[in-house]
C-alpha cells in the first residue's frame, strides 16, 4: 500500500458501513503486532504494511467491545488512538464507532470567528455532577447570557477523575468520568441546536505522565529538543511522519466525527518543528481539504508575539485563525492595581494597556526587561478578529498559589471595569466560567494521579513553586479531592446579590456587543487610544461608518475628567458601570453634548453619537 494512502486513514479502530473493523497501528520498531480481544485469549495478527504501519480488517471486533495490543509479545497495551477508556488510562480500550450517532444539526452554520463571544469552562467543575450531560442542562443559562461559543478545557483521557485536562495521555479519547465520546457528541449536537459553537482545547505539545504508552509503540518523542515536560513530541526527527499523521488525523477526527467547530491548541510555542511544512500548517491545509462543508477554526495559545502563526499559508504563515493575547490580560491586570511580579513586571499599567488596544502585542520588537532582550514583532495588518482577549482565564487564576478569581482580588467596581475593557476592545472576547456572576470560589490546580510516587512529586513540586509565598498561606494540595471540590462554581449564587446584578451587567455588555455594529466589528483601523498621563485613565474612540463611540476607562481610585469630542455631535450613553442599575455609586448622564464629564473612580462609561442610531 502506498505511503500517501496509509496517511489518509485514521489510526486506531474505524468501522466501514458494513460494520467491519479497520485497525491501523503505527509501531515502526516492532516485529509483531497483535490485537487482543478483551476477556479472551483470542489474538489476531496485524499485517505489516511498511513505513512502520500495521493493518488488520476483521469482523471479530465490534462497536462497544474492549480490546488491546501486544507488541512482540509484550503488553497488553491500550490503543494509542483509543476513543474510549471506560476503565481509565491503565485499562483496555473500547471500540467506538462515531458514525452510530444520529446528528440533528444539519442546519447549523458556524459563526464568523470575529462574532464569537467565548465562554471557557472546565467540564468537571462547571456543574455539581461534572459531566457532559449536566452541562447540557446549563446551556439555557449560556443562551440567556448571550455567549455563542463555548471553549471546553481538554477532555482527553487522564489518570483518575480530577484534572485540569493538560495531563491527558490519549489525545483521541474522551474522559470516561465526563461521559465518554457518545456524551460529547450529544453535547455538541445540543449546543448547535441552541446556536452555540463548540471549541475544544487540545494539547499537541506534550502528553501527561501517568498512562502514557505512546513510547511503547514508537518514537513519538525525541531528545532532540527539551520542553518543560521532558522530551519533545517528535514532529521533525527520524520517523516523525508517523507522529505527524497521528496528530493531523486527530484534529480532523474532532471536526469530522464530533462536529467540533474549532480547536484551541495549547502552548504551541512548545511545539518544536523545523520541518519545511510546520505541523500547524499541515493541520491547516488538511483541515481545509476535509470537505465537511463547514468552517473549522484553529486557535493557538502562544508566548511568541509572532504573526507567522496567524498569517495565511499563502503568505508564508501557518494559517491559524486566531491567537490568545496574554499581554492584554497582563496589562489589564496591572492597570487594576494588582502586583507586578514575575512576567507582570514588564507592564506599565494603562500605558501598556493602551498599546495592546492599539497594537495587540505590547512587546512588538521592543526591549523586555523580564526577558533581557528585545521581543516580538509588529502585528500590523492582522485583523482584530484574529486576537482573543480576556480579563481572566483558567491559567491566570489557577496558576496563582491560592487560585483566586478576580472577584477576590479587586473591588466590584473594578471587576465591572475589567469586563468592559474586554468587551469594548476590537478583539474577540472570552469569559471564564462563573466570571459573569463574580463567582467567589477559586479555581485551583488539581490532579488525581493514581500512582503514589507521581502524586507525591506533583504535591512537592507545587509547594516548592510557591515556597516564597508562605506568608500568604500554604499552597492547596493538588491531589486532595477538596481542592477539586473547592473549585466548583456555585449556581445558587445567580439568585443572590450582588451576583444577580453582576450577571445582568454582563448580559447587557454582551447584548451591546451584538447590537452595536461599532462594537461588533473587530476593526483595529477605526480605533484610537489616548492615555491621560498620571491619571490612570484611558479614552478609547472607535468609528465604524457613521457610528462613533467613546469609552472612558478610569482605573484610578479618584474621580477623573473626561471630554466628549466634537461640538456638532450629541451623545447618548450605551452603558456606564457606575450606574445604580449595576449597584454603582453614581449615574452617568443619559445624554450629553461635547464637553467635560466627571468619571467615577474605577469605572467605564461608554457613549455613542446619537445621529448614528
Q: Say whether 489 counts as a known binding-site residue.
A: no
Do β-strands 197-202 and 262-265 pair in parallel, antiparallel, or remain unpaired? parallel
Of 375, 352, 368, 430, nearest in space to 153 by CA: 430
Residues 504 and 414: their CA atoms lie apart, in Å, by: 16
Q: Say whether 465 counts as a known binding-site residue.
A: no
Q: Say whether 269 counts as a known binding-site residue.
A: yes
Coil, strand or helix: which one is 520? helix
Residues 502 and 515: their CA atoms lie apart, in Å, by: 20
Q: Say whether 42 counts as a known binding-site residue.
A: no
Residues 311 and 187: their CA atoms lie apart, in Å, by: 32
Q: Say whether 268 counts as a known binding-site residue.
A: yes
Q: Do residues 436 and 503 lie in contact, with contact meaning Cβ atoms separated by under 8 Å?
A: yes
| Residues designated catalytic | 266, 301
Residues 552 and 236: their CA atoms lie apart, in Å, by: 49
Sheet holding 537-544, edge to edge: 527-532, 537-544, 547-554, 603-609, 570-576, 591-593
Helix-helix angle 279-288:240-257, to 10 degrees: 40
Q: Do residues 364 and 378 lie in contact, with contact meaning Cβ atoms separated by under 8 Å?
A: yes
Q: Do residues 205 and 235 lie in contact, with contact meaning Cβ atoms separated by under 8 Å?
A: no
Q: Say whether 296 counts as a known binding-site residue.
A: no
Residues for the chain: how many in total? Answer: 613
Q: Do residues 432 and 392 lie in contact, with contact meaning Cβ atoms separated by under 8 Å?
A: yes
Do β-strands 387-389 and 428-432 pair in parallel, antiparallel, or remain unpaired? parallel
Q: Say whether 328 counts as a known binding-site residue.
A: yes
Q: Would you give the DSSP letter of residue 161?
A: S
Residues 154 and 163: their CA atoms lie apart, in Å, by: 9
Q: Say whether 497 counts as a known binding-site residue.
A: no
Q: Say whether 396 counts as a known binding-site residue.
A: yes
Q: Say whether 398 counts as a known binding-site residue.
A: yes
Coil, strand or helix: which one is 406? helix
Q: Say whether 126 counts as a known binding-site residue.
A: no
Cβ neighbors of 89 (< 8 A, separation 6 or more) are: 78, 157, 158, 159, 169, 170, 210, 211
Q: Which helix (H) or strand (E) holds 24?
A: strand 21-26
Q: What are the phi and psi torsion angles at 423 (to 5°)?
A: -75, -25
Q: Say whether 226 counts as a known binding-site residue.
A: no
Q: Say whether 190 counts as a known binding-site residue.
A: no
Q: Which residues are annotated as a binding site?
A: 264-269, 326-330, 394-399
Binding-site positions for substrate? 264-269, 326-330, 394-399
Amino acid at each position: 500500500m502506498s505511503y500517501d494512502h496509509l496517511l489518509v486513514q485514521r489510526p486506531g479502530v474505524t468501522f466501514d458501513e458494513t460494520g467491519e473493523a479497520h485497525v491501523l497501528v503505527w509501531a515502526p520498531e516492532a516485529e509483531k503486532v497483535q490485537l487482543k480481544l478483551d476477556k479472551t485469549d483470542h489474538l489476531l495478527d496485524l499485517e505489516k504494511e511498511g513505513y512502520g504501519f500495521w493493518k488488520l480488517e476483521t469482523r471479530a471486533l465490534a462497536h462497544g467491545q474492549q480490546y488491546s495490543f501486544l507488541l512482540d509479545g509484550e503488553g497488553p497495551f491500550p490503543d494509542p488512538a483509543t476513543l474510549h477508556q471506560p476503565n481509565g488510562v491503565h485499562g483496555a480500550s473500547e471500540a467506538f464507532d462515531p458514525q452510530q450517532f444520529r446528528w440533528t444539526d444539519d442546519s447549523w452554520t458556524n459563526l464568523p470567528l470575529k462574532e464569537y463571544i467565548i465562554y471557557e469552562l472546565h467540564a468537571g467543575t462547571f456543574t455539581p455532577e461534572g459531566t457532559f450531560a449536566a452541562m447540557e442542562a446549563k446551556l439555557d443559562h449560556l443562551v440567556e447570557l448571550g455567549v455563542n461559543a463555548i471553549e471546553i478545557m481538554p477532555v482527553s483521557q487522564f489518570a483518575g477523575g480530577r484534572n485540569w485536562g493538560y495531563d491527558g495521555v490519549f489525545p483521541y479519547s474522551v474522559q470516561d468520568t465526563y461521559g465518554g465520546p457518545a456524551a460529547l457528541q450529544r453535547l455538541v449536537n445540543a449546543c448547535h441546536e441552541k446556536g452555540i459553537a463548540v471549541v475544544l482545547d487540545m494539547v499537541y505539545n506534550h502528553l501527561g505522565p501517568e498512562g502514557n504508552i505512546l513510547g511503547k509503540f514508537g518514537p513519538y518523542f525525541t531528545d532532540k529538543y527539551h520542553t518543560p515536560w521532558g522530551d519533545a513530541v517528535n514532529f521533525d526527527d527520524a520517523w516523525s511522519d508517523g507522529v505527524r499523521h497521528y496528530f493531523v488525523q486527530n484534529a480532523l477526527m474532532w471536526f469530522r466525527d464530533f462536529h467540533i467547530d474549532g480547536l484551541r491548541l495549547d502552548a504551541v510555542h512548545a511545539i518544536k518543528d523545523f520541518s519545511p511544512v510546520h505541523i500547524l500548517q499541515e493541520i491547516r491545509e488538511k483541515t481545509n481539504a476535509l470537505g465537511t462543508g463547514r468552517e473549522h477554526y484553529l486557535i493557538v495559545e502562544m508566548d511568541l508575539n509572532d504573526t507567522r502563526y496567524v498569517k495565511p499559508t499563502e503568505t508564508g504563515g501557518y494559517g491559524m485563525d486566531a491567537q490568545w493575547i496574554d499581554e492584554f490580560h497582563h496589562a489589564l491586570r496591572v492597570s487594576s492595581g494588582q502586583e507586578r511580579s514575575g512576567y507582570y513586571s514588564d507592564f506599565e499599567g494603562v500605558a501598556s494597556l493602551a498599546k495592546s488596544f492599539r497594537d495587540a502585542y505590547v512587546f512588538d520588537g521592543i526591549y523586555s526587561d523580564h526577558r533581557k532582550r528585545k521581543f516580538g514583532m509588529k502585528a500590523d495588518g492582522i485583523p482584530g478578529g484574529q486576537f482573543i482577549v480576556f480579563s481572566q482565564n483558567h491559567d491566570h487564576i489557577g496558576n496563582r498559589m491560592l487560585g483566586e478569581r478576580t472577584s477576590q482580588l479587586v473591588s466590584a467596581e473594578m471587576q465591572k471595569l475589567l469586563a468592559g475593557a474586554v468587551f469594548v476592545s476590537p478583539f474577540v472576547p472570552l469569559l471564564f466560567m462563573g466570571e459573569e456572576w463574580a463567582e467567589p470560589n477559586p479555581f485551583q490546580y488539581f490532579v488525581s494521579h493514581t500512582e503514589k510516587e507521581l502524586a507525591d512529586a506533583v504535591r512537592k513540586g507545587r509547594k516548592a513553586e510557591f515556597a516564597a509565598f508562605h506568608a500568604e498561606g500554604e499552597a492547596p494540595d493538588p491531589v486532595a479531592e477538596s481542592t477539586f471540590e473547592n473549585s466548583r462554581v456555585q449556581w445558587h449564587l445567580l439568585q443572590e446579590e450582588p451576583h444577580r446584578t453582576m450577571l445582568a451587567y454582563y448580559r447587557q455588555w454582551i447584548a451591546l456587543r451584538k447590537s452595536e455594529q461599532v462594537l461588533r466589528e473587530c476593526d483595529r483601523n477605526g480605533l484610537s487610544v489616548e492615555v491621560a498621563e498620571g491619571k490612570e485613565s484611558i479614552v478609547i474612540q472607535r468609528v465604524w461608518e457613521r457610528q462613533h463611540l467613546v469609552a472612558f476607562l478610569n482605573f484610578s481610585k479618584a474621580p477623573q475628567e473626561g471630554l466628549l469630542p466634537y461640538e456638532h455631535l450629541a451623545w447618548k450613553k450605551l452603558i456606564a458601570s457606575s450606574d445604580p442599575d449595576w449597584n454603582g455609586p453614581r449615574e452617568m448622564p443619559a445624554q450629553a453634548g461635547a464637553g467635560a464629564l466627571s468619571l467615577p473612580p474605577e469605572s467605564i462609561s461608554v457613549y455613542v453619537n446619537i445621529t448614528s442610531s
